[in-house]
Amino acid sequence: MIRLGGFTYSFHSVRQNKSRWYCSTHRTKGCKAGLHTIDNLIVNMMNFHNHCAPNIRTELPACIPVVVKDELSMKKI
């Protein structure tokens, strides 16, 4: 699980070394936001949620650390 900007993302699939993550509300709310990582580096982000960020008061277990490339250098891979 990845937590970023108040939203959480759940692992969906991997192809070669590129992982696809969907917003955790993808199934329940149909949110299409998601991101791609390569070696724990976020390389692409579709950050358009159809809902507000949930109010998370506790630290989530099993979150992985990720590095976000700056938006100007972010490109689709």
Domain ranges in the chain? 2-69
Its pTM stands at 0.67
Contact 20, 33 (CB under 8 A): no
Place of tokens 């070669």: 16
pLDDT digits (tens, 9 = 90+) for 14-52: 998 999 999 998 888 888 899 999 988 999 998 888 888
Q: How far apart are CA 56 and CA 70, in angstroms?
A: 25
Model confidence at 5, in pLDDT bands (50, 70, 90)?
A: confident
The CATH class given to the 2-69 domain equals mainly beta
